Structure formats: structure tokens, C-alpha cells
Amino acid sequence: MKILITGAAGMIGRKLAERLAKDGALNGRPIDAMILTDVVPPEKPAGFSGKIALRTDDLPAPGVAETLIAERPDVIFHLASVVSGEAELDFDKGYRVNLEGMQHLLAAIRAQGKDYHPKFVFTSSIAVYGAPFPPAIHDEFHLTPLTSYGTQKAMCELLLADYNRRGFLDGVGIRLPTICVRPGKPNKAASGFFSNIIREPLAGHEAVLPVKETVVHTHATPRAAVGFLVHAAGLTREQLGPRINLAMPGVCCTVGEQIEALRRVAGDKVVARIRREPDELVIRIVAGWSERIDAARAKALGFKAEETFDEIIRTHIEDELGGKIAA
């Protein structure tokens, strides 16, 4: 079993490579080789005994996708993506990386001919949805993205479904909810505060809450996201049917409920590190975001997220803080 991961230096890509290295197998078959590629050099995951290629590539550049696919990976995890904010600021770069990168990969697969038929796991996003929303976003709700990033993801989903239908590959597209708690430094993404208000207080730092506590959102941990990817790779054509793009489950809760979970898990002193500082820009951006995601099909297909926000926090403490909370 040979695996290709694009965007392998990103947060989820790194964790996926580590998980696969640790498992040593996927879909019950041993992993002999991994190709990890990204625009910045990917790291070698610990403990992997198979063959590994660490590549620094500009995916949409001529010939790159062809070179990667010439290795005939059995499973492709396509995570490489310009993020939402950057795709909005740099229109051309967003379409080049997010749409053309995907188009090149798919065309390279098709060009290999009929005896090559990989599993293709595409990471989409809940950014494919655009307000106004129903009380919960169900599996048949239309995609009307309000960002270029969401548009590119939705276009890629359509393209993947057509390649799947035509039999060039076995595709599955998974719409990740907001990943929380994101490890690392606070960033300027409008969604950053969902993680900041948990991660920073747990590490002994102050965090700013720019929105009201009534804001509702859907969250899953990095560990759950990696679980979605691995689970997606194991689904068959028969299980998925023709609608291969689907929303992933997550914990739907208010910011107030996030904070109460933090209090239960870590205590009042940690919660006291959250500072309310309304930010009109963030408030306006967040108002356009999806709130509750139903994800009935994904759950029926066996995708599993955390059950409670308490569990999300505990997973973060285990995976990122070695079990320790700053006093």
C-alpha cells in the first residue's frame, strides 16, 4: 500500500502522516511507502519503517501532479490548500492552488489509464455553505459559498464526483467543520478565537473573545479530523453511492457552552483568562457562517467526532499539553 499526502506539512497533514506511520497499515493493508508533499518541506513522521519520500512541490506547476501520480499511490489524501483568508486576498493564487491543483491531480490520474484506480480523499470545508441557513444544515442543503475558498472547494467537490462517476477513481470529499482546538500560536483567521479561548487559557495566557457567547458553531478536534480522513479512505463505492461529498459531524455548541466546558475541565482560574473585547469585523464575518451541521449521512457511514466540548478540551490536553494545564 502506497500513500500520497498533499499538504503534508500542514497541521492536519502532519498529524495524518504521524497516525498512518503509527498504525503502519490502512484499510487492513500494510503501508509500504508514503509520499509526503507540500510547498514547505514536510517532516518525516516518527517510527515509520517503510519507504518515504519527502517532497517540496508547487502542486499546480506543470508536471508536478504527473510526477506524483506516476508513483501510482493506492490512496491519495489531498489536503493541499491555500486557506480561506489568503484565497480571499489573492484571487489568482486561490484558484491556482485550490482549483487547478486539484484539476491537475485528477487529470494525471485519468491519464494513467484504466488499470489505475486510486482512492482519492479530498478535504473540503463547511465554507461551501453560505448564509442564510436552516436551523441545522442537512445533507441536501445547497452550496452557496460566500468566499472564493468555499467556491473553490465546492467546484472541486463537483469535479471529484464526476471523476468518481466516470470511474477514473474512487472519490470521497469530506467537509471538515472548524478544527478546534487548533494547536500553535493564535492566528488572525476570523475563526481563530474558537481555539484561542481554550488553548491560550490552558497554557496560562490571556485570550480575547471578540463575539457574543450566544454564537453557535460546529467543532471537531484535529484527532477527529484525522479519524475522518482515515475512515473516508476505507469506505467503498457501494457504501457512498453517487453523493460522495459529505459534511462531517462535530460538536455543535455556543461559545458560552465552550466556556462552561472549559470551566468544568480546567476550573475558574483558567476561564478568568478569557477577556471579552467585541470586534465588529469578526462579529460580522462569523454571522455569515454555518452554525449547526446535521451530518446525518456521515454519522450513518460511521464517521465519529467528539460527543461533547468537554471531550474536545480533554483531547487537546492529552494530544498537545502532555496532560498538563497551566496553573
148 touches a second copy by CB under 8 A: yes
Provide the 3-class DSSP secondary structure of residue 97. Answer: helix
Q: Which positions from 124 through 143 interact with a second copy, judged by CB under 8 A?
A: 130, 134, 139-143
Span near a second copy by CB under 8 A; candidates 11-19, 28-36, 149-157, 302-310: 149-157
Nearer to a second copy, 166 or 185 (CB): 166
154 touches a second copy by CB under 8 A: yes
Question: Max Cα separation, the chain?
Answer: 61
Compute the least distance from the CB of residue 159 to a second copy, in Å: 7
> What is the C-alpha separation between 123 and 157, in angstroms, rounded?
9
> What is the C-alpha separation between 110 and 167, in angstroms, rounded?
9
289, 252 Cβ separation under 8 angstroms: no
Compute the least distance from the CB of residue 151 to a second copy, in Å: 4
Residue 203 — φ and ψ, nearest 5°? -95, 5
The residue within the footprint of a second copy, chosen from 166, 185, 188, 324 (CB under 8 A), is 166
- Number of residues located near a second copy, criterion CB under 8 A: 24
Question: Does residue 149 have an active-site annotation?
Answer: yes
Nearer to a second copy, 195 or 245 (CB): 245
Residues in the chain: 327
Nearer to a second copy, 202 or 247 (CB): 247
Long-range Cβ pairs for the range 284-287 (8 Å, 24+): 285/190, 286/190, 286/191, 286/211, 286/215, 286/217, 287/131
Q: Which positions from 62 through 121 interact with a second copy, judged by CB under 8 A?
A: 91, 110
The residue within the footprint of a second copy, chosen from 165, 264, 276, 284 (CB under 8 A), is 165
The grid coordinates of residue 134 equal 436552516
Sheet holding 245-247, edge to edge: 51-56, 33-38, 2-6, 75-78, 119-125, 170-176, 245-247
List residues near a second copy by CB under 8 A.
91, 110, 130, 134, 139-146, 148, 151, 154-155, 158-159, 161-162, 165-166, 242-243
Q: What are the residue numbers of the active site?
A: 149
